[in-house]
Structure 1
Amino acid sequence: MSEASRNGTEPPKDIAAMFKRTRDLSDRIGALEEQKLGDRLAELALVVQKLADKPESQSGGVWNWSGMTPGQQASAWEYLLAWMETILKGRFPSSYEEMLRAGCWHEHPDVVEELTSLCTTWLWSYQDKEAGPLRTAEWLDRWLPACVRHVKLILENCSPQHTPPLQRHDRAMTQVEALQQRIAALKAQAAQPGG
């Protein structure tokens, strides 16, 4: 023991070491408190709760046409056709006309995929509960013009023999009627045993 320790002017080494460790811990706790981890943890808990409470997306997610049964395809065609006639044609007639001049668009799988994507991104942009003006602006500025470009490019090389009007009772069948016929055929296939 040193003379200062014996006289009581210097704390014992154990106490000095403990004091240093306590001061180091105090500094570390102060640094943690400055990070406001409690607030961050509360924010994270809210995000997790929001995700857990979130209902399934109205957009239905990604449509995989190749993995659908005939019944699912019929339902998807009905939905897509209704969306195209009410939303795309009704609200964006210039884009609709520019893209779909060729009456055979529904015979082109790549066009169907483009339009399906446009439909599901529209749902995400306009009808998702968390949608805001930026999603809408993105759909109008990015997804709609991209789809118009892609569909026009795909259909510009469609051969003339592929696009003759479908005949029914002395008149040309419209695109809608042709799709309705396709939907009916898919429903009939789905109703078959093993369909």
Structure 2
Amino acid sequence: MTTTTGKGQAPRDDLVTMLAVDVGALGARVDGMSAKVGEIERHVGELAAIAAAVSELRERTTAIAETLTRMNKRNTGGEPQKTWSWTGMSPEERADRLDELQSWVAEVLIPQYGDYLRDQTLKPCWPHHPAAVNELSWLYVEWFNAYLAEERRTRDAADWHDRWLPGVITRFKTVFRGCPHDPNE
């Protein structure tokens, strides 16, 4: 039996059926929007990862530029740098030079030449090994002279890659053999 709600109004069953159809259509639209929102969230997540990577690259590039600027300030006359003598330095100069060397290792040597160091020939504890500090010091000075000195020659860069870097890497194996800082040794 169908009831009516009053004169000229549709029966209640028809009204409920129409509302159910409208709610079903609304539910389908909500599902479609939910899928679109999910897709937008996925894209935003991808963009956030890209933005983080760009930010990290910007920081690394800025750090490298600052290191190179600091290195260049030491060589204002355009003359090649001379080899450092750690024994002849004051404690303040030693601290400054070690800071400069650590910056170069972290911001130039490892990022640019890390493929040569994959087998961990350069240990993180290198500042505690005088032989490693000496090796890296003259390697850095040679790199500086090959790449940043005013009168640099292609031959100097070739020597750095072909002779100096491989020689230092080879000697690192001896320097770090039995390292007391390495729990694997």
TM-score normalised per structure 2: 0.53
1:64 aligned onto 2:64: no
Task: Give the match for residue 76 of structure 1.
Answer: 97
Match of 1:62, SS? coil
**Is 2:168 aligned against 1:147?**
yes
Cα RMSD, aligned residues only = 2.3
> How far apart in 1 are the matches of 2:120 and 2:168?
8
1:108 corresponds to: 129
**Counterpart residue number, 2:182:** 163
Distance 1:138 1:72, change over 3 A: same
Whether the 8 Å CA contact 1:103–1:163 is kept in 2: the answer is: no
Percent identity between matched residues is 28
Aligned to 2:65: none
* 1:55 corresponds to 2:74: no
Q: Deviations over 1:98-131 (max 9, x none)?
A: 4545332221111110011110000111111111
Residue identity opposite 1:151 in structure 2: F
Q: Tell me the amino acid that sits aligned with residue 63 of structure 1.
A: W
Q: Matches of 2:151 and 2:132 in 1, distance apart?
A: 29
- How many residue pairs match? The answer is 109
2:134 counterpart of 1:120 = no
Q: Which residues of structure 2 form unaligned runs of 5+?
A: 1-75
**SS of equivalent to 2:84:** coil
Question: What residue number does 1:135 align with?
Answer: 156
- 1:17-57 CA-partner distances (Å, limit 9, x unpaired): xxxxxxxxxxxxxxxxxxxxxxxxxxxxxxxxxxxxx9352
Whichever residue aligns with residue 57 of structure 1, its letter is: E
Residues 159-186 of structure 1 show CA distances to partners (whole Å, capped at 9, x for unaligned) of 4x4435xxxxxxxxxxxxxxxxxxxxxx
**TM-superposition CA deviations, 1:121-162 (whole Å, max 9, x none):** 00111111111211111111010101110112221x224x44
* TM-score (normalizing by structure 1): 0.50
Structure of greater relative contact order (alpha carbons < 8 Å, 6+ residues apart): 1
